[in-house]
Amino acid sequence: MANIGVIGTGYVGLTTAVCFAELGHKVIGFDIDLSKIEVLSSGKSTIHELGMTELIVKNLANNNLTFRSNIETIAECEFIFLCVPTPQDADGSADLSYVIKATKNLSTLVKKDATLITKSTVPVNAWKEVVKALNRSDVAVVSNPEFLREGSAIADFFNPDRIVVGCASSEKAKQVSDLYKQPDVETIITDNSSAELIKYASNSFLAIKLSYVNEVAALCEVVGANAKDVLFGMGKDTRIGSRFLEPGPGWGGSCFPKDVRALRVTAEDNAISMSLLSAAIDSNEKTHRRIVDKAEKELGNSLIGKTICIWGLTFKANTDDLRESPSIAVIERLIGRGASVVAFDPVITNVDNKKIKIAKSIEESCTAADAILVLTEWEQFKKVNPNSVMDLVSNKVVIDSRNILDKNLWVNSGFNFVGNGWQ
Ligand code: UDX
């Protein structure tokens, strides 16, 4: 059992704090946001994540977990995880100011021979600035990137594909990886810079993979092939892997877009051409446009005065996150081409763009719609019986950009069904 401090209780920090407490460590979660500390200390989760509230309540009760706003108590901790935001700067690079500020605040408080661990997504060589800001030769700086996905963060913490730890001292690196109590999981012990780059390189590769998947889907549509089979066939090649091969309206969220742009800046700053990064971003925007083109084509090549029913606003299912959501990107283009939009999402009741009408139910969203457009792969949409909405819509067209609906079910109810990369 170790005494662990987690600085920042956002998505990554809260998951890290709660899961380490669940492993039996004594964990203090720190945040400057007092209201967040109050909510968390009352046993409520501040993020929409399956199983989070239960683990918070359990570990508050057994005293493995506490939440604090006064940083002084950090002196109790042997291991301190930095999980503060690294938002995107105007030029696309990652803003390190929160990381540096938090490190400076800690520098005089951290106990002798403690270990400071960066878990925030930081650009390569950021650890050097952390070492400088910390200015403590007795405190090791370890880079330990996370690979948590929203919607499955707790499962991802306890079932990682690998644990990555970077540090000049392999002994310190080992101590950090041991905290995860996952002896059977492959642990990659390397230097700080390599550990930092593994995160960006992985996320950017997945984004490039998805851009390619969506381009394959586009090609399948015009040559008459079936993207479901083509991608399935591709995924059987273990060099390619069967995961992250689902076509959609594009990739988004709080990580992929930001990380691809930040890696591009790092490459440019080092005069290295990583053209695939820009290509992936451009291709992703083309995918947004392709989904809108589909709707326009199905509705007589004009969206002017048409009402589009949207199913799904979040960037993917099982999260309430709208950050860089491909749904919003598609919707804004639909509106730009003259359509009005009525959207239903299981967890979203409000959006910034007031041109997007939010429906309280599936039925309300379908009423008088010229087409139904599925944009997020929520389980709820798979279960919709077309007969329950066929008298509500004014036109029986369903466009499934996530390929989650049962085509025969919809066709048998008289709907014109349009898949993504297959027909
Ligand atoms: C991602 C990484 O997966 C995770 O390892 C990292 O720690 C944080 O960033 P997340 O942002 O939660 O996680 O999203 P992810 O599940 O990776 O999905 C990213 C985007 O790709 C979403 O818009 C999703 O809908 C899309 N996607 C994913 C597809 O379109 N098809 C797929 O097959 C998989």
How many other β-carbons are positioned within 10 Å of the β-carbon of residue 206? 18
Q: Is the dihedral of CA 274, 276, 280, 282 positive or negative?
A: positive
pLDDT value of position 190: 98
pLDDT at 275 over 80: yes
- Residues facing residue 216 across a β-bridge: none
CA distances from 114 to 99, 107, 128 (A): 18, 11, 17
What residue spans of 135-270 are helical by DSSP H? 153-158, 170-178, 192-223, 227-235, 256-269
Q: How far is the CA of 251 from the centre of ligand 1 (A)?
A: 7
81 lines ligand 1 (CB under 6 A): no
Which atom of ligand 1 is nearest the CA belonging to 207? Answer: 21
Q: How far apart are CA 276 and CA 152, in angstroms?
A: 28
Q: Is the pLDDT of residue 73 over 90?
A: no
Report pLDDT for 324: 97
What pLDDT, in 10s, does the model give residues 281-325? 999 999 999 999 999 999 999 999 999 999 999 999 999 999 999
Mean pLDDT over 206-228 rounds to 98
Residue 423 has pLDDT above 80, yes or no: no
- Could you tell me what percent of the chain has a pLDDT over 70? 100
Which ligand 1 atom sits nearest the alpha carbon of residue 259?
9
| Per-residue pLDDT at 75 exceeds 90 | no
**pLDDT at residue 163 tops 90:** yes
Kindly state the greatest CA–CA separation across the chain. Answer: 72
Residue in 163, 197, 170, 186 with CA at minimum distance from that of residue 16: 163
Average pLDDT, the chain: 97
307-311 β-sheet, strand order: 356-358, 340-344, 307-311, 371-374, 397-400, 416-418
Measured distance CA(30)–CA(79) in Å, rounded: 13
Nearest atom, ligand 1, residue 202 CA: 5
Structure confidence by residue, pLDDT tens digits, 276-292: 999 999 999 999 999 99
Tens-digit pLDDT profile for residues 317-352: 999 999 999 999 999 999 999 999 999 999 999 999
Q: Using a 6 Å cutoff on CB, does residue 158 contact ligand 1?
A: no
In the annotation, is 77 catalytic?
A: no
Rg (CA), the chain: 23
By alpha-carbon position, which residue is closest to atom 14 of ligand 1? 149
Closest CA to 129 of 110, 101, 108: 101
Per-residue pLDDT reduced to its tens digit, 224-262:
999 999 999 999 999 999 999 999 999 999 999 999 999
Give the confidence band of 355 by pLDDT, cuts at 50, 70, 90. Answer: very high
| Rounded-to-10 torsion of CA 70, 72, 73, 77 | 130
Q: What is the pTM of this model?
A: 0.96
Residue 74 clears pLDDT 90, i.e. is over it: no
Per residue in 166-207, pLDDT (tens digit) is 999 999 999 999 999 999 999 999 999 999 999 999 999 999
Does 207 sit in the ligand 1 pocket, CB within 6 Å?
A: no
The residues pairing with 397 across neighbouring beta strands, listed in sequence order, are 416
Cα-to-centroid distance, 222 and ligand 1 (Å): 27
Question: Residue 161: is its pLDDT beyond 80?
Answer: yes
Residue 228: Cβ within 10 Å count: 18
Whole-number Å distance, alpha carbon 39 to ligand 1 midpoint, is: 28
Kindly state the tokens that stand for 48. Answer: 């929409």
Other beta carbons within 10 angstroms of residue 247's beta carbon come to 24
Cα 362 to the chain's mean position, in Å?
Answer: 25
